[in-house]
């Protein structure tokens, strides 16, 4: 099967599988990550088919919504790729990327590395920052019924994996706990450049947010 057909079949599978997904991990998140990944890949030496398949399948089954089972994503992706006769090497590489690209896995320095993983990881991180990242954070917080802001609850910069998963902190804290840290975790030159722009936009947003909260005339 040629690569275009493989990609088209994967797009259909992902759209169909994610049709009831919450807004932060819906088809449009996948579509943005796919676009980011192709953009970054254009300047990198890599296997484009692996990059595109991993971008398309990276959130096919999020462990957060499957009792923390970290293998559910790679397994679902692998099972699908077998049905369209992708070759074994491609399948294995895509599965490794899905396994290792999460924020949590990035703390595991001894894990798997490849140029394709670096690209897709950057593509996904870009969608967590900037204007889109702000929208996704508040959408996720709303989905979880979190407060937008509560000055009595300080950001926790040293959360363990478990605390991070079960955190009920206000959404604004998530900027300090994760989103503002992402620009220093980018792998590729183009990823870093785009992350810097989006980071600056988030800083501007936070500045405005806090200025609106403490209107001096009220005191």
214 three-state secondary structure: coil
| Contacting range for ligand ADP; rule: CB under 6 A; set: 34-42, 44-52, 171-179, 184-192 | 171-179
CB of 4 to ligand ADP, least distance (A): 27
Residues in region 149-168 near ligand ADP by CB under 6 A: 167
Closest CA to 125 of 60, 192, 73: 192
Asked if 133 touches ligand ADP (CB under 6 A), the answer is yes
Contacting residues for 191 by C-beta, under 8 A, at least 6 apart? 40, 119, 122, 123, 125, 126
Q: Write the interaction track for ligand ADP spanning residues 5-44; mark x where CB under 6 A is met and - where it is not.
A: -------------------x--------------------
Q: How far apart are alpha carbons 208 and 172 in whole angstroms?
A: 13
Q: Which residue, 124 or 190, is less far from Ni ion as judged by CB?
A: 124
Distance CA 171, CA 167 (A): 10
80 within 8 A of 58, measured Cβ to Cβ = no
124 binds ligand ADP (CB under 6 A): yes
Q: Please, what is the minimum distance in Å from the beta carbon of residue 59 to ligand ADP?
A: 6
List interacting residues with Ni ion (CB under 5 A): 59, 124
């Amino acid at each position: 099967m040629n690569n275009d057909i493989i990609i088209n079949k994967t797009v259909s599978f992902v759209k169909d599988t994610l049709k009831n997904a919450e807004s932060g991990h819906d088809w449009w998140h996948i579509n943005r990550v796919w676009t980011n990944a192709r953009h970054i890949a254009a300047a990198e030496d890599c296997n484009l088919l692996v990059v595109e398949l991993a971008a398309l399948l990276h959130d096919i089954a999020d462990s957060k919504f499957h009792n923390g089972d970290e293998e559910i994503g790679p397994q679902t992706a692998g099972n699908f790729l077998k049905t369209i006769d992708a070759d074994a090497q491609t399948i294995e590489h895509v599965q490794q990327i899905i396994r290792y690209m999460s924020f949590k896995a990035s703390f595991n320095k001894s894990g798997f590395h490849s140029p394709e993983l670096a690209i897709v990881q950057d593509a996904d991180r870009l969608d967590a920052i900037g204007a889109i990242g702000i929208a996704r954070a508040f959408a996720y917080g709303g989905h979880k019924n979190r407060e937008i802001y509560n000055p009595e609850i300080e950001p926790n910069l040293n959360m363990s994996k478990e605390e991070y998963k079960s955190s009920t902190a206000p959404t604004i804290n998530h900027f300090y706990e994760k989103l503002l840290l992402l620009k220093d975790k980018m792998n590729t030159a183009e990823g870093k450049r785009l992350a810097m722009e989006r980071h600056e936009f988030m800083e501007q947003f936070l500045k405005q947010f806090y200025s609106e909260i403490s209107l001096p005339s009220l005191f």
